[in-house]
Structure formats: C-alpha cells, structure tokens
Amino acid sequence: MTVFLLLYLCTDATRTDCQVVQADSWNGPSAYEQCTDVVPGLTEALTAPNRNRHRFVCEVQSDSEQNVRHRAKPAFIHQSFRM
C-alpha cells in the first residue's frame, strides 16, 4: 500500500478552488499511520488564517492504482464558479 500526503492549497476558506500538491509519500503496511502522525504538526505549523484555507490529506492508493497513475498523463481540471 502507498499513501500520499497531499496539501490542498485553496484560495479561500470555502475550499472550492484548490490546487493539490503532493508533499510526501509512504509505502508499507503502516504507511497510513505514518502519514496521519505528521498531519497535526504540519497543520499547526500553518498560520491561523492559512489553517482555515489549506489542509493536509492522507490518500491511500493500492499498488495497481499507482501503476496506472504513473502511465497516465495528469489531467488539468479547470473549474469556474459564477455567482
């Protein structure tokens, strides 16, 4: 099992317009626990306003998903919201 630590960089607190950045990754049976252990410290290191906008997420991927991901080109998704 592979776990990715993803940082969601969002423009505001609604988190509707975010860019995802891979911050770290772990492999093995305890990968998820290792990831979730670092999230509180990283979140606390953010400034108070940024804690409301940005967040860290641990995402689990099976080995088969990882192989497909490496072969496929990343897709750029553009979202537009009008009020």
pLDDT tens by residue, 20-71: 999 999 999 999 999 999 999 999 999 999 999 999 999 999 765 555 455 4
Given a contact cutoff of 8 angstroms between Cβ atoms, the answer to whether 50 and 39 are in contact is no
DSSP letter for 74, please: P
What is the reported pTM? 0.69
Strand partners, 60: 3
pLDDT of residue 33: 96
Contact 7, 20 (CB under 8 A): yes
* Tokens 């990968």, located at residue: 31
- What is the layout of strands, in order, in the sheet containing 2-10? 18-27, 2-10, 55-61
